Amino acid sequence: MSKAVRVLLVLGASLLAVLLGAGIWLFRNPLAAFAAHGRWVLARAGFSKKTFETRAGRLTYFTRGSGPVLVLLHGAGDQAGTFSRIAPELSKRRTVIVPDLAGHGESAPFTGPIRLTSIVDGVEAVLAKEAPGEKVVLVGNSLGAWAAGLVAKRSPDRVAQLVLVNGGLLRAGDRGVTLTPKNRGEARRTIEALRDPASPPIPDFVLDDVVRQAKNGPIGRLDVADMEANLLEGKLRDLTIPTDLVWGVSDRLLTLDYAKRLAAGLPAARLTTLPACGHVPQVECPVELLRALTAVLDGPLPTPSFSSPPGAGL
């Protein structure tokens, strides 16, 4: 056997080992692989990844574009890459900022409890750094919607418009769905509640990773007492920012009735529905979400309605 052939065989064996190792890692860590792919898509689309220090520690975010500032806030247990299928298009006419919320992705804290107040502090720190003195549009999904609403309540002079995507500031009630499943069966029921029934089923190895992440990831670290203290039950009338609710109607965690309750309690709100979409539309139906976001961002702002009695939304 010639030296060249031996070298090729060694290289081939090494490449096979690398591919096999990568395949095993992907099989064991599908959620991390999905997150990494989303972040890679953002980078490839021209988004710059930046980091800086806040009171809660390092905060990471992606940004691209010019013009009016639009901030995309992900949900619990997620990270900035979740918006990879809509952020590039939105950044063609705007400055788009996509943070990893505190305790998520590459943002601190990396251990210990994650306080909702720290998440809000982190968003405000990004605004102070990237858009000082500017009014911005906040688009939040799930927990990100909650954080967006709290930023608007704290600093109404900094927010031009709120867009809440399957998330809000009221108690959801018990839907028989746990976000911290302890086994594959519970994970399957949770995922089914978050997605449209016609969506493809999730493989078992992904469900197993959902269980692992529920135990060790950000969702299990959220400070429930701090979240309870930041609900706006009976206080929605104080949130005067023009607000759009964009809602996947197949969501069985935060249902359409929840969205209607939010809309009834907010002074200036309108509701846009997404048929056959669940709790995380930017992943499940990004084309439909992008179309809805474009309509509400480019159109007139929601106008105040005085038909709701004080205290609506309780």
For 251-266, what is each residue's pLDDT tens digit?
A: 999 999 999 999 999 9
The Cα 49–Cα 281 span in angstroms is 24
Predicted pLDDT of residue 1:
63
What is the architecture of the domain spanning 19-298?
3-Layer(aba) Sandwich (3.40)
d(CA 81, CA 99): 9
Give me the pLDDT at residue 309, please: 43
At residue 174, the pLDDT reads 79
Q: Is the pLDDT of residue 131 over 80?
A: yes
- Given a cut of 70, whether residue 10 has pLDDT beyond it is no
Q: What is the pLDDT of residues 161-170, one digit of tens each?
A: 999 999 999 9
**pTM of the complete model:** 0.90
Question: What's the mean pLDDT in 265-286?
Answer: 98
pLDDT value at residue 56: 80
